[in-house]
Amino acid sequence: MVPSPTRVAALQGLGVPADRLDRLSAALRLPHRRPGSPAGEAFGPSVLLLVGDAGTVEAPDFWQRPFGAWIEVAGLSDAQIIEAAHRAARSDLFACVTTVTANRLHLAGRILNGLAALHPMPEAQRDDMELALHEAISNAVVHGNLQVEGMKGLSVEALERFSHDLAARMADPAFADRRIEVAVWLESASAVVEVADEGTGFARPERIDYGASGRGLDLIAAIVEELQLLDGGRRIRMRFPL
């Protein structure tokens, strides 16, 4: 029997067939939250949104409380969704979406909105955190899942090559359907944020030959309290003071 997640009190579907919602609800032992239901305490502070219609999840309402976890179900088996739901249950905020969706959404801004609702912070601090998270997600999308190299110069040719490669990989389901996962944990004096991709990994060299891009990790390191590259570079962990 699958144990019930601890930080998720209910699930809601968006463009997910009713029979699949029933199966997942039973497997996770989570009640359905019906669309339009009030945020009431019956479901606690965190509802898991299972997204089948990725186009409509851009609506801001779906990124506000009581929602605290988002899983795009396209291409995932029930078992994979259940595994992701348990990762969500161990997080204060959680998102698992395709590369296409992560690229289309301003995902860093959505996550920071959720974090600010849980822990209000000064505007300047929030802006710094959003900048670091945006850079981490961009790296995961472009260099991780799409495996596009950064620009090596400031020439028109370098920009055209980069733009062409990016568009070609985004149009290829083998790359575009890979997953980006963001998880947030609140601690007593800090927030830990992880961004994971499904690329080939990255080992940061001691010396970096910068072109027109490639300074993202240095920017992140200048903002965060602690920075770690895990899983062969496929996951970045950032600790922000609160």
Tally of residues, the chain = 242
DSSP string for residues in 186-206: E-SSEEEEEEE--SS-----S
**pLDDT for position 56:** 87
Tell me phi and psi for residue 47, to 5 degrees.
-110, 135
Tell which residue, 95, 71, 97, 68, has the closest CA to residue 9.
68
The 10s digit of each residue's pLDDT in 86-117 is: 999 999 999 999 999 999 999 999 999 999 99
Q: Which amino acid is at 166?
A: L
How high is the pLDDT of residue 41? 46
**If you count DSSP H runs as helices and E runs as strands, how many of each does the chain have, helices first?**
8, 8
The pairing of beta strand 67-72 with beta strand 93-98: parallel
From first to last of its 242 residues, the chain has per-residue pLDDT tens of 333 335 888 999 999 999 999 999 999 999 988 776 665 444 445 899 999 988 888 898 899 888 999 999 999 999 999 999 999 999 999 999 999 999 999 999 999 999 999 999 999 999 999 999 999 999 999 999 999 987 666 677 777 888 888 899 999 999 999 999 999 999 989 999 999 999 998 766 554 454 444 567 889 999 999 999 999 999 999 999 99
Q: What is the dihedral of CA 107, 108, 109, 113, to 10 degrees?
A: 100
Q: What's the CA gap between 232 and 197, in Å, rounded?
A: 11
Q: What is the pLDDT of residues 44-82, one digit of tens each?
A: 458 999 999 888 888 988 998 889 999 999 999 999 999
How many CA atoms lie less than 13 Å away from 113 in the CB half-sphere? 15
| Rounded distance between C-alpha atoms, residue 180 and residue 103, angstroms | 10
| Structure confidence at residue 6 (pLDDT) | 52
Tell me how crowded residue 113 is: count the other CB atoms within 10 A of its CB.
17
Q: Quick one: pLDDT at residue 35?
A: 73
Report H helices in the chain. 18-28, 78-89, 99-104, 107-118, 123-139, 156-170, 173-176, 216-223
Q: How far apart are CA 50 and CA 24, in angstroms?
A: 10
Q: Which two tokens stand for residue 116?
A: 């600010």
How many CA atoms are closer than 13 Å to the CA of 29, on its beta-carbon side? 9
Among 178, 16, 195, residue whose Cα is nearest residue 91? 195
- Report whether 133 contacts 193 (CB < 8 A): yes
Q: What is the DSSP letter of 32?
A: B
